[in-house]
Amino acid sequence: MNAMSFILLNFEEVRRRSIEVWMSIPQDKLDWRPDPEAMSCREMIHHVLEGEYLYHQMLEKPLNLSLTEEHNPYKPITFSSVEEALKFAQPY
């Protein structure tokens, strides 16, 4: 295996493990926060998926292109379930 194959394998494994954790959160606990200033479970899942998307965009774009110039499909979206979030993230 070369370095790129290992990087891709790592991304896939991190996503697989994240999905296992996220799917184990009961639907009625998605809005739970460990403290009032913290993100909820739902917001954290959204944050991770959006971060992966933006990181991917940084890798694909030239260095002189700002991400603020790009459309972010995650900005106007809020998800009602983990399944909905994963289905939305699939094409990205």
What token pair was written down for 68? Answer: 């603020």
Tens digits of residue pLDDT in 6-30: 888 998 999 999 999 999 999 999 9
- Supply the range of the domain harboring residue 19: 3-89
Tens digits of residue pLDDT in 43-68: 999 999 999 888 888 877 766 666 66
Q: Are 38 and 47 in contact (CB under 8 A)?
A: no
**Domain total in the chain:** 1
